[in-house]
Structure 1
Amino acid sequence: MPLDITGTPRLSTPLRDSIRSVPNEESSPTIVSISDIHGYLEAARSALLTLADHPGFDPVVVADEDGTLHWANNNYVLVFNGDLIDRGPANEAVLKMVARLIKEAPPGRVRVTLGNHEAILLSTDHFGYSNWFAGQVNVDDRRLFLEPVLAGHVVAAYQGYNVTYAHAGSPDPYSVSEVNESLIKAAKKLADGLGTNDDVRVQQQVIDEHQRVLGVGDGHPKSPGAGLVWLDFAYLPKDAPPQVVGHTRHTTPQRKGQVHCQNVLRNNLDSEGGEAVFVEEPNFLYAVTRCPHSNVKTKILR
Structure 2
Amino acid sequence: VTVVGDLHGCMPSLRAALRVCADLSGGARTSAIFAGEGTATMVFNGDFVDRGANSLEVLCSLLLLRFAQPDGSVVLLRGNHEDALLSAAYGFADEVQAKHAAAHEEVWEAVSDLFAALPLCALTSHAAIVHGGLPGPELDLGAVSSIARGRDDLRSVLQPEGQPDAALIQGLVWSDPSYDDGLHTNESRGGAGFIFGPDVARAWLERQGLRYLVRSHQVKPDGWE
Query: CA 1:139 to 1:70, structure 2 compared with 1: closer, same or farther past 3 Å?
Result: farther
Structure with the larger helix share:
2
The residue number in structure 2 matching 1:185 is 163
Query: How far apart are the structure 1 equivalents of 2:166 and 2:17?
Result: 33
Q: CA deviation at 1:39?
A: 0.9
Higher relative contact order (Cα pairs below 8 Å, separated by 6+ residues): 1
CA contact (8 A) 1:81 1:245 kept: yes
Instruction: Decide whether the 8 Å contact of 2:43 with 2:77 is kept in 1.
Output: yes
Residue 221 to residue 113, structure 1, CA distance change in 2 (3 Å): farther
Deviations 1:104-123 (A, max 9, x none): 1124221111101002x2xx
C-alpha contact 1:158 1:166 (8 A) present in aligned 2: yes
d(CA) in 2 for partners of 1:246, 1:86? 15
Matches within 5 A, 1:210-221: 210-214=166-170, 220=187
Structure 1: 5+ residue stretches without partners: 1-30, 64-68, 187-208, 256-302
1:49 Cα deviation after fit: 0.9
**Contact 2:132–2:215, Cα closer than 8 Å, also in 1:** yes
Residue deviations 1:174-224, cap 9 Å, x none?
3173462249735xxxxxxxxxxxxxxxxxxxxxx4211136785747366
Structure 2 residue aligned with 1:73: 35
Provide the secondary structure at the position in 2 that maps to 1:158.
Answer: strand
| In the alignment, structure 1 residue 133 sits paired with structure 2 residue 89 | no
Q: CA deviation at 1:155?
A: 0.3
Q: Which whole-Å CA distance do the structure 1 matches of 2:32 and 2:61 have between them? A: 8
Instruction: Give runs of aligned pairs for residues 15-30 of structure 1, distance below 5 A.
Output: none
Aligned CA distance change for structure 1 residues 131 and 85 (closer, same or farther; 3 Å): closer
Residues 73 and 105 in structure 1, CA contact (< 8 A), matched pair in contact too: no
Aligned Cα RMSD in Å? 3.5
Q: Which residue of 2 aligns with 1:94?
A: 58
Shift of 1:79: 0.7
Q: Deviations over 1:145-178 (max 9, x none)?
A: 355467x6x2011111211011001053531734
* AA matched with 2:91: W
Aligned to 1:58: 26
- Aligned partner of 1:238 in structure 2 is 198
Matched, 1:144 2:110: yes
Instruction: For residues 23-82 of structure 1, give each alpha carbon's deviation from its aligned partner in whole angstroms, at most 9, with x where no partner exists.
Output: xxxxxxxx221010111110221122113335xx334x934xxxxx78632423211101
Amino acid at match of 2:51: R
Contact 1:128 1:135 in 2 (8 A): no
Residue 7 of structure 2 aligns with which residue?
37
Structure 2: unaligned runs, 5 residues or longer:
97-103, 146-156, 176-184, 206-211
Distance (whole Å) between structure 2 residues aligned to residue 253 and residue 143 of structure 1? 42
Superposition deviation, residue 89 in structure 1: 1.7
| Residues matched between the structures, number | 181
2:182 maps to what in 1?
Answer: none
**Whole-angstrom distance in 1 between the partners of 2:14 and 2:6:** 9
Structure 1: which 4+ aligned runs deviate by more than 4 Å? 134-139, 146-150, 215-221, 251-255
Alpha carbons of structure 1 residues 181 and 117: separation in structure 2 relative to 1, 3 Å: same
For 1:110, the equivalent position in structure 2 comes to: 74
1:78–1:109: 8 Å Cα contact kept in structure 2?
A: yes
- Residues 135/118 of structure 1: CA separation in 2 closer, same or farther (3 Å cut): farther
The change in CA–CA distance for 1:223 and 1:58 in structure 2 (over 3 A counts) is: farther
Could you tell me how far apart the structure 2 residues matched to 1:221 and 1:129 are? 21
Q: Given the two structures, how large is their TM-score scaled by the length of structure 1?
A: 0.50
Contact 1:183 1:210 in 2 (8 A): no
Q: Percent identity?
A: 20
Change (3 A) 1:133 1:116: same
Residue 76 of structure 2: SS of its match in structure 1?
A: strand
